Amino acid sequence: MSTKIDDILEELYLIDPAMRDEEETLKKTIIDLLKSRPDGRMDKAFEAELKEKLLAEFSKKTKSGHKRSSFFLARPAFRIGLGVAAAALVAVYVAFAPGTRGLKPAEAIAYTDRPTAPTARVAQAAAGKKPAKLSNPSALRPIQALEKDKSARLSAPMGAAAPIAQAETEAKEAPMAMPSSSVAVLDKKADDRAEVLADRYNQSLNTEGYDRIVESSFAKVLEEPLSTFSIDVDTASYANVRRFLREGSLPPPDAVRIEELVNYFPYDYAGPTGPDGASGDAPFAFDTELSPCPWNQGHSLLRIALQAKRISDREMPPSNLVFLIDVSGSMDEDNKLPLVKESLKMLARRMRQEDRISIVVYAGSAGIVLEPTAGSKTAKILQAIDDLEAGGSTAGGEGIALAYDTAKKAFIPKGSNRVILATDGDFNVGASSDGELVRLIEEERKAGVFLSVLGFGMGNYKDSKMQKLADSGNGNYAYIDSLSEADKVLGQQMAGTLFTVAKDVKVQIEFNPALVGEYRLIGYEKRALAARDFADDAKDAGELGAGASVTALYELIPPSGASKRGDLKYQSTSLSPQGAAAAELLTLKFRYKKPDGSASSLIEQPLQIAPRELAKCSADFRFAAAVAEWGLILRGSAYKGGASLEQTASLARGSLGRDLGGYRAEFLELVSLSKQLGR
């Protein structure tokens, strides 16, 4: 905490060096104000408000006759240096701050004229401009303008300089135009000082949380013939990785969940064919494909694909939706609450008479903003969303409990009953622990109320917490970084987001040791299950929404020739397949439950899969392979072999297919950005 206080003071000294004489008084004031806060936390909103208050109090004090050191401010060189330092600070902030990368410094000041940009506010104060007040909603730019700026910045052709590089170039060119050599020296010192402060400032603000991913290693079939995992239809990792790349930085390795990258895209998989088809009466169909592995010569790549039955909006059962919205102070940023509101409006406009919408909010306390309301009353629902404002500390546990109570009061038998949590994840749970919160969510899912999570924002984003909540609540987890992503999740794929066709879906594969020596499941590290969990109906697994597809990729190594384990004293393991079974590559098994069921059904099928040349495989297979290769590179995986971004781009470019929505073309843009950023 003392380091953060020192950082705040250093920024204040840039504005008014005379404040350094009052350092002890300022520190005491900060500590006293912190003690007055209920949670004792120094969040971003409070930090910015604190600086304003200190500046105002100091200014008032000096005007009333307090001794003030004006010597330095009277010197032209110092005034110029101070302005240069502020400009440099803004330039560095442009490279790192949410929503401003790629903008010119002057544009950044206008863009960040909002309560969540303390560094820009420092520059505004130094330039004699009054910073926007924290409580002023008009300081927030309209979400349409936010999207327009974003589109403009992202429309640059592939191969162009990365936004961060452009911002750095502009930041360096502007101050170096000063003619005086003495001013240039002062400029350099101020620039260096500002960069150090900005770096320290951004490090202190970046508290994003990701669970560590330990990659699966190759398993020997003779020792571990069974591979078991839960399906995953979450897409948050892809959208979050996209956000990092477009903001000019590589994502942390633990933010890269390869299965979520692969499953982000729509695929042209065949759905179930009914009782007379191979899929029986299951709510999904499956398919397999095998080819040489693009990044490891001599290895094979196996694809297992699931496709849930597709239903139209008219076929969807009635929905009872409770929007649980985080309106705490940390959500007071353009890419948080304003984007939440516009995203939920998209969903609200698609609701029908038989649907029910409720809105629960939480900050310092939880409350109901909109009682269960018929989906046809669009104007009333939209007005309730428009009226939401951010402010206060965060106690998420109380809000989640109230949301579940609201959902149960409006419960629709045989309908889709769901709480949709919209947050940056930066919340505490009051008197409850995270574990107690998860247990509450698990209990409520048994009663038929599921939980989906929509993540927003950056800097304090808590990915690990939101993933855990969604998994516990039988729901999906998506990250919303733009209105187009909101439209994808809550519009185009609404049925898959809201209507579950199968729950606790598990996959188990038994490999034939005569044809497979070793195997490795790519991704799904958080979804791995023990072999015994497959038949255990008490073991939770993933949910499959209407129309959703799931893709799993295995890298296979052929057998080395050894037919028997010789390292055991009391037992032996040897090759046993004979006859027709000897030609089977694997036996594929699925377990799933109906949305309102408690007993699982089993699908089991042995498969003889003939490998095909990569060029002759389906476009879906080749594109999924390209995305997986990209994920291995971004993670810096120990198993990436000969993977390269050039090969990734080539493979993806040749497998765009119909590309509905342009998502595959966008992927090529991200591969290009990855290359520019040095991965």
List the one residue out of 134, 151, 169, 119 whose CA is nearest residue 8. Answer: 119
Tell me the DSSP string of 136-196. Answer: -GGGSPPHHHHHHHHHHHHTSPTTSPPHHHHHHHHHHHTGGG---HHHHHHHHHHHHHHHH
Beta strand ranges found along 594-633 (DSSP E): 601-607
Q: Is the whole model's pTM more than 0.75, yes or no?
A: no
Please give the torsion angle defined by the CA atoms of residues 634, 227, 504 and 258, in that order, rounded to the nearest 10 degrees: 10
Q: How far apart are CA 287 and CA 306, in angstroms?
A: 7
Kind and range of the H or E run holding 649: helix 645-653
pLDDT of residue 497: 85
Domain 316-476 belongs to what topology?
A: Rossmann fold (3.40.50)
Cα three-residue angle 514-520-525, rounded to 5 degrees:
145
Residue type, position 324, single letter? L
662 φ, ψ to 5°? 70, 20
Tokens representing 29 are 């004031």
Please give the torsion angle defined by the CA atoms of residues 603, 609, 614 and 619, in that order, rounded to the nearest 10 degrees: -30
Tokens representing 495 are 């049925």
Q: How far apart are CA 210 and CA 465, in angstroms?
A: 8
3-state secondary structure of 655: coil
Q: How far apart are CA 240 and CA 425, in angstroms?
A: 14
11 φ, ψ to 5°? -70, -35
pLDDT of residue 60: 58
Give span(s): CATH 2.60.40.1230, the chain.
219-311+500-563+575-676
Kind and range of the H or E run holding 588: strand 586-593
Residue-wise pLDDT tens digits, 527-536: 999 999 999 9
pLDDT of residue 280: 56
Give span(s): CATH 3.40.50.410, the chain.
316-476
DSSP tally for the chain: helices H, then strands E: 22, 16
Q: How far apart are CA 90 and CA 120, in angstroms?
A: 6
Tokens representing 677 are 């950023």
Tokens representing 467 are 């993933």
Residue-wise pLDDT tens digits, 425-452: 877 655 456 778 888 899 999 899 999 9
Tokens representing 678 are 């040095």
CATH superfamily assigned to domain 219-311+500-563+575-676:
Gamma-adaptin ear (GAE) domain (2.60.40.1230)
Q: List per-block mean pLDDT (blocks of 10 residues) for the chain, which spans 679 residues.
A: 70 74 78 66 68 70 45 38 45 43 36 33 37 32 40 37 39 38 41 45 64 95 95 95 95 96 96 60 94 97 96 88 92 92 93 95 87 96 93 78 94 94 78 74 91 91 89 92 93 87 96 95 96 96 94 96 73 72 92 92 95 96 98 97 97 94 96 91
